[in-house]
Chains A and B, each alone.
Chain A
């Protein structure tokens, strides 16, 4: 499970882990904006961003190749659109799309892998991200594992009951079984959501999750946020000027 690995990484003790989440979220937004709007010298700028992110991952003592591989999970989606651009005669746009998608995912992963989720969500809350979205994200993260485990159990149960002998029948039966399993999974998730809501009401929930801890934005956080926000912008300007 990717999110369990990410959670383990996020509980590290490096200097990057110890930073206030806002000191990482703001530079992340700056980097994403710089990346999204880059048009000239994109390969060089991408290489610079890649180097910065790799340096951050190494400094945070996150396994580099494992992190690079996990960020590549976005590529199947990005590559489809990149291929469409390529086939329509615009290979540069296709390459840009793939590069930007991968580097954006790697940047987000770097922040998520160095910030425990409750701390990250608290940071986002203090940055005025709507509480409703954060609550949904928190519950999605909490129950992703439970729901995927249920799906695995259903898959095993289906496999234990065998598959039809003829290949064509087998494909049809598998499709029907998968569709049925998906429906059951949805119904169970809905039932679980009701149970969770009841459990929350039973313990006095009135519509707002109250944070248990405060964050302290220290001068060191401010300095890091400023430097890390400026770095990708400065790198882009410098590379574009040299070109």
Chain B
């Protein structure tokens, strides 16, 4: 039996304006598993992901690789879970691609040569080693996404959490990203509205609605249960 790398129990969260975002989320992710987080806008998917490494703090409990998500464990937890944000522009904040990819390793206390070696290796994994000296804002959206992923891979996390990874990517870029992620051994959580991408990458999906998980199962079953197949949506009777 595979060991769980994430276990969330009865997770609840309200934003500062009082709006409830999570209303009792229970979730488990096993090592090496890839799960798609589906659901309408505002259903709590991104809020949930931001709880996994303590960027938001709610009620309930979360364990990441056996560590409880609490202040004293955050440095260790942030080493174990790599978060790729929806907007790569916000994630690539260093002056050059190489410096950005090396940001995580150097914050984890690696020596500069080791951090640079890790960063170059991660850039090579995503096919961006030729852009190491470029400034992030000169890159296309697809290239930015690859560099953002490289910045996470350079930290060698056990879990990858990706928030809308296909945003701004054209279909060939989406396919290349699915192939790249599919080849990585880490457990993955993929927040997406892109059903073909979810089908290509994950076997399991959970469906968020109103801040809770209302379905958990194979991607095609969850998609069909909620009528989320884009191509047949017009012909399908509304739920």
A interface residues, Cβ below 8 angstroms from B: 7, 116-118, 138-139, 141-143, 145-146, 192, 195-196, 198-206, 210, 212-213
B residues at A contact (CB < 8 Å): 50, 53, 55, 75, 78-79, 82-83, 85, 87, 89-91, 93-96, 98-99, 102-104, 106-108, 112, 115-116, 135-137, 151-152, 155
Bound-complex Cα distance A7 to B104 (A) = 25
Question: Which residues from B are CB-within-8-Å of A142?
Answer: 93-95, 136-137
Give the distance to chain A from B230, nearest Cβ to Cβ, in Å.
27
Residues of B within 8 A of A202 (CB): 53, 55, 78, 82-83, 85
> Cα distance A143–B93 when bound, in Å?
8
Query: Contacts of A203 on B, CB cut-off 8 Å?
Result: 78, 103-104, 107, 151-152, 155
* B96 interface neighbour in A118, A143, A199, A206, Cβ under 8 Å: A118
Q: Are A204 and B85 in contact (CB under 8 A)?
A: no
A196 partner residues in chain B, CB cutoff 8 A: 90-91, 93
- Residue numbers in B under 8 Å from A118 (CB-CB): 95-96, 99
Q: Which residues of B contact A210 (CB under 8 A)?
A: 106-107
In the complex, the answer to whether B85 meets A200 with C-beta atoms within 8 Å is no
User: Are the CB atoms of B50 and A139 closer together than 8 Å?
Assistant: no
Asked if B95 contacts A117 (CB within 8 A), the reply is yes
Q: CB within 8 A of A195: which of B75, B87, B108, B112?
A: B87
Contact A199 B93, CB 8 Å, known A7-B135, A204-B104, A212-B116: yes
Residue from B79, B102, B106, B151 whose CB has the most chain A CB atoms within 10 Å: B106
Tell whether, in the assembled complex, residue B93 and residue A200 are in contact, meaning their CB atoms are under 8 Å apart: yes
Q: Is the CB of B93 within 8 A of A145?
A: no
B107 lies within 8 A of A139 (CB): no
Q: A201: which of B78, B89, B135, B136 is its contact (CB, 8 Å)?
A: B78
The smallest beta-carbon distance between B2 and chain A, in angstroms, is 25
A204 touches B55 (CB 8 A): no
**Quick check: B90 and A192 within 8 Å, CB to CB?**
yes
User: If A142-B95, A201-B78 touch, does A206 touch B107 (CB 8 Å cutoff)?
Assistant: yes
Known A145-B137, A198-B55, A199-B85; contact A204-B91, beta-carbon cutoff 8 A: no
